Amino acid sequence: MGLDDATVKPHERLAAYLSEDLAAVDALIAERMVSAHAPRIPEVTAHIVGAGGKRLRPMLTLAAARLMGYAGPHHRALAATVEFIHTATLLHDDVVDESGQRRGRPTANLLWDNKSSVLVGDYLFARSFQLMVEPGSLQILSILSNAAATIAEGEVLQLTAAQNIATDEAIYAQVIRGKTAALFSAATEVGGVVADATDAEIAALHAYGDALGMAFQIADDLLDYEGDAGATGKNVGDDFRERKVTLPVIKAVAAADGTERAFWQRVIETGDQQEGDLDEALALFARHGALEATRDEAFGWAAKAREALGHLPDHELRGMLSDLADYVVARLN
Amino acid sequence: MGLDDATVKPHERLAAYLSEDLAAVDALIAERMVSAHAPRIPEVTAHIVGAGGKRLRPMLTLAAARLMGYAGPHHRALAATVEFIHTATLLHDDVVDESGQRRGRPTANLLWDNKSSVLVGDYLFARSFQLMVEPGSLQILSILSNAAATIAEGEVLQLTAAQNIATDEAIYAQVIRGKTAALFSAATEVGGVVADATDAEIAALHAYGDALGMAFQIADDLLDYEGDAGATGKNVGDDFRERKVTLPVIKAVAAADGTERAFWQRVIETGDQQEGDLDEALALFARHGALEATRDEAFGWAAKAREALGHLPDHELRGMLSDLADYVVARLN
């Protein structure tokens, strides 16, 4: 199966193209997650790192650096850094969300306990900072530490925005930028910085990562209502049951009449959910075209991601990144 | 009341001497804990930062820098960094320990929820990294990111060492180095680095902070069995009930006969604790001199801290730091 075979998914083509780099990143992750003193750390980390994630974020760093012609070694440490930050946030997210399943497997907080998830997450976060010091670039440290703050801020904002139907699209954008787009954009941006790209190129790499992340997260939030557990490893309506106010709900609330508003207040704010409420929510989405409008926004962000690539050099990787932007929304049939 | 009055505690004399610096650090903390988007963040942070802690760690950085003749502005950002790291670990500790009280006040996880404590802790941790990037020193970044990893590793090790009476004094030393001494030693060390001290002076500052932290934590673990809730804000025997294996228990287990060993296995490993077990533990400590031996170790570390100061310039602050080393163990009547 050649890399130009249209049936090969873009992230698989990226993984094949970057296979040598990715293997080195995996080795670096395995090396750095070891703790001489606390065997619980690699146990928990291996469970989540080995859970079959797509390594999308480290690939973004590797691809950005290669696309900009980088030939040095530091992009690998940065890619591992990005994956450590991601893994740390997953561990903490599962505690916060009280999740029992991720990617179809039991979560670490269920297999061990919340304590281990909190503390191993802290360890990985600290390890990520050790790693990002290594390339010796203050600009890179600034980008990644800013991303870490935006991620945490977005998570706290999500806590308070959940269960509040006054949450609007601007707040939602801040939440998902923190949840997803901030690390995507930092991942691509540091790839450009390490490769000594121009300011305009670095800005374009940032814009691509940001738009890809926004498209990805909006698609994810939409799939929470449209997907099936077999394909996504999530249960349909998880966000609804956790009373999260994602884009479909925001759009349905904005179009709601008095009766509908009372419904949203009861299920989201009061949290008094009954049998059939998820079906009712889906019916209200259909009535107001909320899922279609959400899909349109995801496609809009994917288009912005492709546009940003226009400011970057012509390169085989640029085509793959463009296809990746299409792919994250192509899941939305 | 003059600063040379023997009834004024050393940390109060340090605070008076460093009052201008400390006020600037407090202002910086207040400025940086603000989040435009997530008001929950300053709420939770203010609760814990305003809880009447002694600001011991930021004072160590300020004192080390001043002692080495530093006159620039960056020691304040570093002191705030150290306090942010400390505050973040307190928030996560309270979740892990399922604590309801700290310094005589309800903990943040009780007032808000575990989710807020986890995520606001992450935010402060990220903020601390943003702050530590500002002085532009890779050596400082390396010291503080290494400390953060040691802290998290020690916490995970404590999780697995708890409830295990095979824990020995070497493991205990690793746990408390992570829990306390690693941040103390990083705090003093970065003060020396920012002041451009010699390698020997930086090593002495590190050794002082490490020994002070070891003395402090061993004293704290001893006071868990000797103190009273009114003075310490903790309940006597908290560690016993949480089945933590601290130095008094390790020493008592090492000297235990078969019957006593069975007792420790039941109360610490099985966790089957009954009325009167804490009294029985205290009686076993007395039989084997476990509390006296623990006190001796705390005094030994305090002596090491004073010795390390011998390698540093003669300075008013050096006297206060020496008194501080005496003071952390003077609590042990």
- Beta strand pairing call for A105-106 and A101-102: antiparallel
Contact list in B for residue A39 (CB cut-off 8 A) is: 160
Chain B residues within an 8 Å CB radius of A155:
119, 122-123
From chain A, the residues in CB contact with B32 under 8 A are: none
A236 touches chain B (CB under 8 A): no
In degrees, rounded to 5, the angle at the alpha carbon of residue B223 between the alpha carbons of residues B218 and B225 is 110
- Is the separation of the CB atoms in A108 and A94 below 8 Å? yes
> Any CB–CB contact under 8 A between A129 and chain B?
yes
CA–CA separation, B59 vs B248, rounded Å? 30
CB of B173 within 8 Å of any CB in chain A? no
Is some CB atom of chain A closer than 8 A to the CB atom of B129? Answer: yes
d(CA B64, CA B149): 22
Of A89, A95, A146, the CB nearest to B130: A146
Q: How far is B64 from chain A (nearest CA, A)?
A: 24
A174 in a domain, yes or no?
Answer: yes
Please check whether residue A173 touches B, CB under 8 A. Answer: no
Instruction: Find the residue in B nearest to A91 (Cα).
Output: B118
Does residue B126 sit at the A interface (CB-CB below 8 Å)? yes
Is residue B142 less than 8 Å (CB to CB) from chain A? yes
Instruction: Determine the average pLDDT of the residues in B295-318.
Output: 97
Q: Tell me which chain A residues have a C-beta less than 8 angstroms from the C-beta of B41.
A: 153, 156
Cα–Cα nearest to A281, from A242, A257, A248, A329 = A248
Q: Residue B89's closest chain A neighbor by CA?
A: A122
Tell whether B159 lies on the interface with A, counting CB pairs under 8 A: yes
**Closest Cβ–Cβ partner in A114, A119, A149 for B155:** A119
Give the HSE-up count for residue A315: Cα atoms under 13 Å, Cβ half-sphere: 18
Quote the pLDDT of residue B196.
97
Residue of A nearest to B116 (CA): A156
Interface contact A168, partner B, CB < 8 A? no
Q: Which residue has the tokens 């929820």?
A: B113
| % pLDDT > 90, chain B | 65
Q: Confirm or reject contact between A156 and chain B (CB < 8 A).
A: yes
Cross-chain Cβ contact B118/A96 below 8 Å: yes
- Separation CA A73–CA A136 (nearest Å): 12
The burial of A112, by beta-carbon neighbours within 10 Å (0-12 exposed, 13-18 middle, 19 or more buried), is given as: middle
pLDDT value of residue A3 = 43
Q: Per-residue pLDDT tens for B11-48?
A: 999 999 999 999 999 999 888 887 766 777 777 777 76
Q: Which of A153, A175, A176 has the highest number of chain B CBs within 10 A, making it the mutation to test binding with B?
A: A153
Quote the minimal CA–CA distance from B51 to chain A in Å.
22
In a domain, B308, yes or no: yes
The answer to whether residue A197 sits within a structural domain is yes
Report chain A residues whose CB lies below 8 A from the CB of B95.
Answer: 114-115, 118
Residue keyed to tokens 């690939």: A59
Q: Dump pLDDT digits (tens) for B185-215.
A: 999 999 999 999 999 999 999 999 999 999 9
The total of structural domains in chain A comes to 1
Residues facing residue B101 across a β-bridge = B106
Q: Determine whether the interchain pair A122/B41 forms a contact, defined as Cβ–Cβ distance below 8 Å.
A: no
B312 pLDDT above the threshold of 70: yes
- Note whether A136 contacts B: Cβ–Cβ < 8 A: yes
Q: Does residue B4 fall inside a structural domain?
A: no
pLDDT exceeds 50 at position B2: no
Structural domain contains residue B70: yes
Smallest Cβ distance to B156: which of A123, A127, A156? A123
**Mutating which of B35, B41, B45, B115 best tests the A interface, going by the most A Cβ atoms within 10 A?**
B115
pLDDT tens per residue across span B118-134: 888 899 999 899 988 88
Residue of B32, B33, B37 to mutate for A, most A C-beta atoms under 10 A: B37
Range of the domain at B195: 10-330
Compute the radius of gyration of chain A from its Cα atoms.
20
| pLDDT of the residue at B40 | 76
Q: What is the predicted pLDDT for the residue at A100? A: 66
CB pairs under 8 A between A and B: 137
Give whole-number Cα distances, A139 to A133, B134, B137, in Å.
11, 11, 12
* Probe site for chain A from B97, B123, B171, B242 (most A CB atoms < 10 A): B123
Q: Does residue A3 sit within a domain? A: no
Instruction: Assess if residue A5 is contained within a domain.
Output: no
Tell me the nearest-neighbour CA distance from B127 into chain A, angstroms: 6
* B contacts of A95 (beta carbons < 8 Å): 114-115, 118
Residue B111 sits in a domain whose CATH number is: 1.10.600.10
Of residues A92, A130, A141, nearest to B149 (C-beta): A130
**Tens digit of pLDDT at every position of chain A (333 positions):** 344 456 788 999 999 999 999 999 999 988 888 776 677 777 777 776 766 677 899 999 999 999 999 999 999 999 999 999 999 998 888 777 776 666 666 777 766 677 888 888 899 999 899 888 888 899 999 999 999 999 998 988 888 777 899 999 999 999 999 999 999 999 999 999 999 999 999 999 999 999 999 999 999 999 999 876 555 556 788 889 989 899 999 999 999 999 999 999 999 999 999 999 999 999 999 999 999 999 999 999 999 999 999 999 999 999 999 999 999 998 776
Q: Which two tokens stand for residue B258?
A: 């078969």
Residue B170: is it exposed, middle or buried by C-beta count within 10 angstroms (0-12/13-18/19+)? exposed
Tell me the pLDDT band of B231, cut-offs 50, 70 and 90: low
Q: Tell me which residues of chain A, numbers 33 to 62, contact chain B at a CB-CB cutoff of 8 Å.
A: 35, 37-41
**In one letter, which amino acid is A48?**
I
Does residue B226 fall inside a structural domain?
A: yes
Test A151 with B114 for CB contact under 8 angstroms.
no
pLDDT attached to residue A187:
98
pLDDT tier for residue B136 given thresholds of 50, 70 and 90 = confident
Contacts of B149 (CB under 8 A, 6+ apart): A123, A126, A127, A130
